[in-house]
Chains A and B, each alone.
Chain A
Amino acid sequence: MGQGVLVAWVWLAAATFVAGCAWRAWRYRRAPVHLRWDLYPVAHEPAARRAYGGSRLEDPEYWTRGGRRSLAGELEAVLAEAVLFRGVWRNNRRVFWASLPFHWGLYLLVATSGLLAASSMLAASSWAIGLARLSGIAGGLLVAAGALGLLALRTADPGLKRYSSPLDRLNLGAFAAVGGLGAAVALRPGGMEAVSRAVGALLAFRSPEAPALVAAHMALAGLVLFYFPFTRMVHFFAKYFLYHDVRWDDRAVVAGSAMERRLRGALDFGISWSADHVGNGRTWREVAADGRAREERRQ
């Protein structure tokens, strides 16, 4: 691959990643307000209630009291899931031992990329490169080990194997290669300096003239970035919606609020379900009102 092509490829991959993720997030965000489907414990309940999963519905006339929301509770829950993988630790210990290093490694590789971008723009960049080397080695090894662990589970465990496609396994292999190559680059004398120069060139739309190992790493990382938004890996941001917009969404409908306006609008949506009892061609409002009992119809 010529290195001019590498510039174009990495930029195309990055743009696809950003646009693809933004598109998917926009789809989730623009979806109509749904009916309540919260699930307890809800993290923003006050600590005393959160401890056992209680809600404001435990109070007499709860609708007159307003809801107290604990931001600290949400932060604690988010950090426990995103950093400590509490749910996997509690319910799936085998996957935990592969998933935790894999994700921690990814966090470190993202940090490494930031440090390298900073180092390419700073005059005195040795500290950034030094840090990037450390995080690059640790991150690369953790990603590679985690991805290989997950690959082993998806190959050897009969349950997981049955639900894993060849593409899933290729994807884990690609992550293992990205991590392994990243660690190899960081371990080579002068490797991170070369990456820093290459990143600077990429940011300036210049040919990076990078060593073969660095170029291979960038090309492969670009491939992963390119297809990432079209996979289930977008859970890294979709989790926000799954928790905040569904699981913890206990918002009351306030008169005159934007939510109320959206809900009233939804009642005027057309309905085209075909089963006899639905009676299609009308709006939700009309169909819901058609719940008259036999005796009422006679009147």
Chain B
Amino acid sequence: MSPRGTTFASAREADAFMDEHQGLDVDALLPLPHPYDDWRDTAIRPLTEDQRGRYEAGPDGVSALRLPRPSGEDERSRAVAGFLAGLQKLLSAEDNWTFLQPLMLSLENCVQCHTCSDSCPIYTAAGRPEAYRPSFRPEVLRKIVDRYLKPGGSLFPGLRGLDVKVDWAQLVRLAELSYRCTLCRRCAQACPMGVDNALVTREIRKLFSQELGIHMPELHEAGTVKQLETGSSTGLNPAGLRDIVEFAEEDIAEKVGRAVKIPIDLAGAEYLVLHNAGEFLSWPENLQAFAIVLGEAGVSWTLSSELIGYDSVNYGLFYDDVQYARIAARHHAAGRKLGVKKLLIGECGHAHKAIMAVAERLVPAEARVPAESALVLLEDLLASGRVKVDPSRNDFPVTLHDPCNITRSLGIVRPQREVLRRVAPRFREMEPHGVDNFCCGGGSGFAVNSSLNFPDWRVRVAGRVKFRQILEAFAGEPAGGGKKYVCAPCSNCKGQIRDLLEYYQAGERAGIGYGGLVELVANAMVSVPEGFLAQ
């Protein structure tokens, strides 16, 4: 999978390349350790003839965007003109004040030393194909800027390495390849210059979204648009929330033998707890465990039934500043309306970053509410003795997956470990971990994309290194014996790890399961009957 030059010199060359490489060679994928010595991956399904007739695909034959094929030359030309117009806006102080400085710095100072390459789990897992190199996409954009936007750009293009052509095929490649990076920022961390190629990748996504209306449907139509329209990217409305809470309270009563209240719209509470609404539907035990822990500790807290106020998701963070700003403002507004002292961000990595850090410079002070991580509060409750635990309840091997947005992007590393040390006696780290962790492969919205052949790619390629890390963390434990627990304090990471464990049959082959952090706390609580996790 290695085209000549950095940019596929011609559309014809790229098309020929795509025909030749329908799907990655799964035999080139990173090998897995014991007990997967004999593991054979199934191929990434090529798009069907019908799908190829309707949708464009990346140079790897994968489609993340379901980008419709244009109807004719006019449409292709309009897209090219729109892309170049959008590129100018991307470099303007008014249209892109949000990230202009980091973008300029990263565009103009990468020396292509490739120090970042091997830090990328997708590039290395796939056998180092050129199109996945973390500096490839940004370099294409740099060349386009130099060639098409800068004065004298067409002078001596061969000498200056500006062998780039902007046409429809180029746009498709750039758009699709911007969704072969999880924005985990390991490449930025490795860069001695401080260049952030993941940021440039996000800016490429943003250009396509804000100018051409090209986005991953799961992030836009089924993500931010749905959230702004209905209150949640899951489609959950306030009435649905109340039903879920009612059900959760009944479920908790059955599990712990007493009533535990989940407050909604409690004005003046100390905390407005913001959960990723995906938890309510896919992992309701997370909501329940939080309610049990906070209830026992006597914490004053509430959920909000305000639209968007009950879903911490903000997929705008991954692709679109406008959508991001709209949702960020609404999260803080929900807290202001209830008059709470703080927002408490549940186990959702990107929500941590979106609400605690990025929004700080976007939502004016008079509209903001201070935000704290639930991981920090859990540590505090355990350390202060407000929640009593018996760690022997969790007498099974536990390892921790670090969500990139919580560790590398926010520096919240210690609290979750302190919690695990108190409730999980057989906790062991993955290597590397903390701010050096590997992405689960579901970051930047990948975990919610289950269309066409993208999930095949996501579990085989994007999550490969993470799965290897999980196996290595449990090396030495009997493959089939007892349960092993991957603790992932992030909804999107949990979704990806669920899919990884399913594809690699890790439950059957290695006895590996997964879950959140607060569930381990609830399972260890002295006041909770044994077996919370098992129920």
Contact = CB atoms under 8 A, between A and B. Distances in A.
Given A242-B105, A273-B89, A274-B82, A167 B159 contact: yes
B413 A288 contact: no
Contact of B99 (A27, A37, A95, A269): A37
Contacts of A173: none
B42 interface: no
A288 B101 contact: no
A265 to B, nearest CB: 9
Given A163-B135, A242-B194, A273 B411 contact: no
Contacts of B188: 39, 247
A276 B213 contact: yes
A63 B326 contact: no
B113 A288 contact: no
B434 A53 contact: yes
Contacts of A277: 213, 220, 225, 322-323
B362 interface: yes
A201 B503 CA distance: 75
B199 interface: yes
B160 A165 contact: yes
Interface stretch (A9-17, A114-122, A186-194, A230-238): A230-238
A289 interface: yes
Contacts of B212: 274-275
B94 A36 contact: no
B99 A293 contact: no
Interface in A219-272: 232-235, 238-239, 241-243, 245-247, 250, 252-253, 255, 260, 263-264, 266-267, 269-272
Contact of A58 (B110, B189, B329, B415): B415
Contacts of B135: 163
Contact of B106 (A81, A242, A296): A242
Contact of A246 (B101, B112, B225): B101
Contacts of B323: 277
A133 B209 CA distance: 58
B356 A32 contact: no
How large, as a class, is the contact surface on chain A? Answer: 35 or more
B105 A241 contact: yes
A159 B93 contact: no
A2 interface: no
Contacts of B113: 88, 92, 95, 99, 160
Given A35-B358, A53-B435, A55-B411, A271 B109 contact: no
A39 B409 contact: yes
B197 interface: no
Nearest to A252: B360
Contacts of B225: 277
Contact of A38 (B105, B111, B160, B409): B409
Given A253-B365, A291-B329, A81 B104 contact: no
Interface string A132-148: 00000000000000000
Contacts of B231: 293
B101 A31 contact: yes
B115 A270 contact: no
B133 A159 contact: yes
Interface in B167-219: 185, 188-196, 199, 209-213
Given A95-B114, A99-B113, A246-B102, A235 B307 contact: no
A58 B308 CA distance: 26
Given A165-B159, A267-B364, A57 B411 contact: yes
Contact of B372 (A61, A87, A160): A61
Given A39-B188, A250-B357, A288-B322, 10 more contacts: A39-B189, A52-B434, A159-B117, A167-B160, A233-B111, A234-B108, A238-B105, A252-B360, A276-B213, A294-B229
26 contacts: A33-B97, A37-B99, A37-B102, A40-B409, A40-B435, A52-B413, A54-B412, A58-B414, A63-B370, A87-B192, A88-B113, A232-B108, A232-B111, A233-B111, A235-B109, A235-B111, A238-B105, A242-B193, A252-B360, A255-B365, A272-B94, A275-B212, A277-B225, A278-B210, A278-B322, A294-B229
